[in-house]
Structure 1
Amino acid sequence: MIYDISYTALSFFCVFVGLVIGLSFYFGRKTSSSSSYYAAGGNIHWAVNGIAFAGDYLSAASFLGICGMIAVSGFDGFLYAIGFLAGWIVALFLIAEPFKRLGKFTFTDALNAKFNSRAITLSASVSTLIISVFYLIPQMVGAGDLVMPLLGLPHWAGVILVGAIVIVIVASAGMASTTYVQFLKGGLLIILSLVLTFFILKNGLTLTPDFKGEKYHNFMELTPQVEDGKVANVAGWELVTQQAVGNKTFVKLSQNGVERWFDFTQDANKPLLKETLTVTQLANGQQLYNGEAREKRRFYQVGHMSKIVVNGQEVDKTGPLGPFEFLSTLQESEVVRFLQVKFADGGDQVSLYYPQTTAGEKFMLPGLKYKIGRDANLWSKLDFISLMLALFLGTAALPHILIRYYTVKTPRDARKSTILAIAAIGGFYILTLFMGLGAAVNGVLDVESSNMSAPLLARAFGAALFSIISAVAFATVLGTVAGLIVASSGAIAHDFIDVYLKRNLSDDKKVKVGKIAAFAVGIFAILLGMAFKGINVSFLVGWAFAIAASANLPAILFLLFWKRTSETGIAASIIVGITASLAIILTSPTMWDRYGLDPTNAIHQLENPALISFPLAVLTVYVFSILYPKRQKDVGVITG
């Protein structure tokens, strides 16, 4: 899309960033030991930690990604919210208190508490790094998306900006400043989401969204002459070419030297050409938007309703609606979605977004993204099960979530902060349903980035709301990235260099090496954020959850609840979990597309690996613990 800088948004952004950096320097003066750097000295109040848990977890994937996926795919996007929340049940009942008793600074500390094994240290630190990096990618992608409308900067500039700020946060004070940044933005995000939901319900549903005097773009429809099932002529236009993509046909027409693509349909035996949105990457490197340069501003925001039904009657506008009225009315109506196809046109590459009318009932039920019903095949069913398994099991094994248990004083505090986090996160996810659906029908969708759905919806209701929400969303990214980099720096400095390499670093050295590691991880995250531009951030986070569920959770559960678990079994299960999940991800259709290959020709059609990688890791820890029993005498299994 084409964005103009908002000076109101810029002002709020500067205030938030200044506050965040101020907090970092304030706590930096109090950070004098490795305990305070990596775990805030274990002195965080459980209530602060609970909201910080929520702030850490409600990352770009939750606010930007889930809202965007709901806006594009309806209820299928909300399945992510259900999976993300359900995962906290595992954390509460199985992990929180016993895990607090085991560790000191890092995930590796806890896993190795009973063994003092170098194999566990190495495998767990590598696992922490890989999972953190995969979780970092969507945060950086989301940061770049946010900066475009917020500051008028390109995507890559936003990625660099958030990377630089987070490096300052982590290098200054570590976990203490990170905790309070997450506490602040977690609370603000929930409050502002309530405000945005209020505006959505107050506005109700309308056929032609109209905000600030700018009506939704009226996409043109042309009637062509057809011969032998193909377009032969269109009055007032020059026929250039026709392109078949799957079971669809797209027609390129020219008028006054500008070439446009149309979707060719024959509804009720009536031929029709429907206007599309098109981004063309020319062979010479130039990009055209709907056949013209970006400066012509001929690329529109989309998302509206083609029919609104209230009590069996079609209306143009509903007026204010209650939460349940909003959902039921949307279910009875029709939504216009824009679907994407890609194809080659000579030496040019075309990304085309075409309109498709979808019944509200279908939009509000699973099946638009994850084929699990009538249109399902074996791969689609397996992929859906695999995704839900990853989301349900991954939360309790994310390193940057697990280390937050060490910031409170007692196991009881760990449990109480987890309960508070569940309440806060659950409430927020209910709001994402309304924010995503509101974005879907109010003409605010950026087809190039579903991640911008919620901020652009806020902009439709006023510059002030957009400014505050975008600034808080940016702070959301900052807080989550900071937590991930703290986890990564701990894995490098404490686990790998100090423990595995046996450097026996002094307390000051641990902090210094951790800050250097934070800088290196931050630079790497910036590069990855640029490389994965355009992919929905919730989808990307699903990969991190799958790796965490496969690499870490079997080891954690067996360590806590099976006394015969050995150090060899734990190390082997981590290695198998990482290897299997990465192998499936790197050969998935999405990565095939990133490689410039045809996704349909990928080695397999599974996007989410947990269905295969998690059982493999479970089997590995069991078999290797039997074959290679632990060498030390059992000191007793730790349970809740």
Structure 2
Amino acid sequence: MVSTTWVQFLKGGLLVLFSAILAVMILQRGLMRAEGGVDGHRFVRLSIPADQSPQQVLQAAGYRPSGNPDPAWGQAARSYWHAHDASGRPMVFIHLPGEGGGELRECQTIQQRPDGTRWVNGRPLGEPNPDGSRNQLHPVGHVEELPEGERTGGVGPVRFLASLSRSKILLWRKEAVAAAEGTVTVFYPQPTAGKEVLRPGEHPKFAGIRQPGVLPKLNFLSLMLALFCGTASLPHILIRYYTVRSAAAARKSTIVGIAAIGFFYVLTLYLGLGAMTSGALDLTDTNMAAPLLARSINEWLFAIISAIAFTTVLGTVSGLILASAGAVAHDVVGNVLHIKLNDAEQVRLAKIASVVVGGIAIGLGILFENMNVSYLVGWAFSVAASANLPALVMLLFWKRTTYQGVIAGVLVGMLSSLGWILLSSDTFASVYGISRPAWLEMVVPFSQPGIVTIPLSFAVLVAVSLATRQPETASADAMTS
């Protein structure tokens, strides 16, 4: 367990250190205006005069407009135009409203065809391009307008945010078009003012704070509550308290840990904004933002960040598996089932539990393969906060907490949060791939469970503790009250 704690310390320290280095390099590079990503592709942007149609503008720019290849395009939520360039390459443009007749912007597409092949931007994925490269989605994420001109040069943390707030960032959104030859995912550009990017709720995950109605805001608050309370409740964090020598050392470890985590959270602000303006983002994989950002700066930095990220994953997984195995071998079998085992038998049982827990984790990883990791992190924190936090808090601050109350609170918190997650709309959409029954909207009205399941676990723990107090304890409480 001590070795696992050292692994956690080393990988966490390296993660904070190199994240700080990456943030410094982002500030040193500053912001620069661009028309495309790091691969050199310049996205087409055509202004439409008030007296011309999009078709006329495309023809004047040298493109050959074509009709919609499938009636489904006519039913899309946005207005798309299809054309071919001088080389015959098919292209898709989105018509964005604006001054005059608005403007046409180049889009990117991915289509999964019935024969199993994937087509990117109207051509097979990986097909050779005239320049020798392979056909794939172009990296995105750049500053389109910058008040300082072409670039800011090196800036400080405050000036970086100030310059970004006055800039225009080209973000990307997506829409699915159910064409006859396979669903087409259209990635379309969305010019966004920098001050809007910096305003809370720009990312779809946090959009609830901006949306009208109570439920989206409750979902956002539930996520924030889980992230706040879940940090102290994760099993691989809790086991660190078993390796300190004294209460003073535990407090010192807690303060250092909180300070390091807080500093890292500040760094993620600059890492995220740096990735958003780096021109290196992969539209199909939002989990690779930090490594791709590092790659846009330096290949060696990319290798180091990737290695640290991999080490962080292994360290976290090893800590979780060790905590789970210890809980099974010591707590469940020894304290709950009251089965006496010697040291060798406990070690053997812990090894078996490690394999079983690892297998379950692998199965869940395959099941949730297509989900963004940020959603999974939020759910993990929700389960940890619902199951562990009430027991920790009440054991520390409420003398009437009983063994039965803790067990009941942990079970109710864990089962209720897991049940809520499995019945949520996000799980039905991203994991099951089916529409959710209408009656579940009344039972599980939003996806993040923390705001419901954490108070529920507290309530169950208190109720069961009051109901299972020993008579002499109750009498003593009555005499002292």
Q: Same fold (TM over 0.5)?
A: yes
Between the aligned partners of 1:270 and 1:224, the Cα distance in structure 2 is 5
Q: Identify if the C-alpha distance between structure 1 residues 502 and 435 changes in structure 2 by more than 3 Å, giving closer, same or farther.
A: same
Alignment partner of 1:243 is 2:243: no
Query: How far apart are the structure 2 equivalents of 1:499 and 1:317?
Result: 64
Rg larger for = 2
Relative to structure 1, the CA distance from residue 287 to residue 531 in structure 2 (aligned partners, 3 Å threshold; closer, same or farther) is farther
Using CA pairs below 8 Å that are at least 6 residues apart, which structure has the higher relative contact order? Answer: 1
Instruction: Name the SS of the counterpart of 2:146 in structure 1.
Output: strand
Distance 1:275 1:631, change over 3 A: farther
Q: Secondary structure at the match of 1:568?
A: helix
Task: Quote the Cα distance in structure 1 between the aligned partners of 2:377 and 2:471.
Answer: 37
Which of 182, 187, 201 is the aligned partner of 2:8? 182
| Amino acid paired to 1:308 | L
Structure 2 residue 184 is matched with structure 1 residue 346: no
Greater shift, 281-290 or 333-342, is seen at 281-290
**Contact 1:223/1:234 (<8 A) preserved:** no
Residue type of the alignment partner of 2:198: M
Partner of 1:106: none
Name the counterpart of 1:410: 246
Code of the residue aligned with 1:614 in structure 2: it is I
For 2:28 and 2:343, how far apart are their aligned partners in 1? 56
Aligned partner of 2:158 in structure 1 is: 324
Say if 1:329 and 1:193 are closer, same or farther in 2 by CA, change over 3 A: same
Task: Tell me if 1:626 matches 2:466.
Answer: yes
CA contact (8 A) 1:568 1:630 kept: no
State the partner residue of 2:424. 588
Does the CA-based 8 Å contact 2:65-2:81 persist in structure 1?
Answer: no
In the other structure, the counterpart of 2:259 is: 423
Q: 1:400 corresponds to which residue?
A: 236
Identity of aligned residues (%): 40
1:601-640 matched pairs, under 5 angstroms: 603=441, 604-630=444-470, 633=473
Aligned to 1:355: 189
Aligned mates of 1:355, 1:462 — CA distance in 2: 27
Conserved in 2, the CA contact under 8 Å of 1:283 and 1:347?
A: yes
* Residue 323 to residue 225, structure 1, CA distance change in 2 (3 Å): closer
2:123 counterpart residue number: 292
Which amino acid is 2:13 matched to? G
Once residues 563 and 307 of structure 1 are traced to their aligned partners in structure 2, the CA distance between those partners, rounded to angstroms, is 61
> What CA deviation, in whole Å up to 9, does each residue of 1:521-580 have, x standing for no partner?
223323332332343323211111111211222222223222222333333322322232
Query: Match for 1:377: what amino acid?
Result: G
The answer on 1:275 being equivalent to 2:111 is no
Task: Report the secondary structure of 1:270's partner residue.
Answer: coil
Q: Does 2:378 match 1:538?
A: no
Mapped partners of 2:46, 2:258: distance in 1: 52
Q: Contact conserved, 1:224 with 1:272, CA < 8 A, in 2?
A: yes
| Secondary structure of the corresponding residue to residue 264 of structure 1 | strand
The alignment status of 1:597 with 2:451, answered yes or no, reads no
* Contact kept in structure 2, 1:449 and 1:535, CA below 8 Å: no
Deviation for aligned residue 1:492: 2.3
Which amino acid in 1 is paired with 2:289? Answer: S
CA distance in 2, matches of 1:482, 1:499: 24
2:304 paired with 1:474 = no
Q: How far apart, CA to CA, are the structure 2 residues paired with 1:318 and 1:448?
A: 30
Q: Is the 8 A contact 2:54 2:104 kept in 1?
A: no
- Mapped partners of 2:277, 2:436: distance in 1: 30
Q: Which residue of 1 aligns with 2:131?
A: none
Given the superposition, is the C-alpha separation of residues 181 and 552 from structure 1 closer, same or farther in structure 2, using an over 3 Å criterion?
closer
- Looking at structure 2, the residues matched to 590 and 232 of structure 1 have their Cα atoms a distance apart, in angstroms, of 42
User: In the alignment, what sits opposite 1:385?
Assistant: 221
- One-letter amino acid matched to 2:192: T
Structure 1 residue matching 2:341: 3-state secondary structure: coil
Coordinate RMSD, CA, aligned: 3.1
**Aligned equivalent of 2:300, options 447, 464, 471:** 464
Q: Which residue of 2 aligns with 1:450?
A: 286
**1:340 is aligned with what amino acid?**
K
Instruction: Report the TM-score when normalising by structure 1.
Output: 0.65
Question: Is the 8 Å Cα contact of residues 110 and 184 (structure 2) preserved in structure 1?
Answer: yes
Following superposition, the deviation at residue 259 of structure 1 comes to: 4.8
Between the two proteins, the alignment pairs up a number of residues equal to 456
Give the aligned partner of residue 140 of structure 2.
302
The structure-2 alpha-carbon separation of the partners of 1:230 and 1:569, relative to structure 1 and needing over 3 Å to count, comes to: farther
Q: Corresponding residue for 1:335?
A: 169
- The 2-side partners of 1:632 and 1:548 are apart by 34
- Report the TM-score when normalising by structure 2: 0.86
Deviations 1:606-629 (A, max 9, x none): 121111111222222222333343
Counterpart of 2:29 in structure 1: which amino acid?
N
The Cα offsets for residues 497-535 of structure 1, whole Å up to 9 and x where unpaired, read as 344343322112212221222222223323332332343
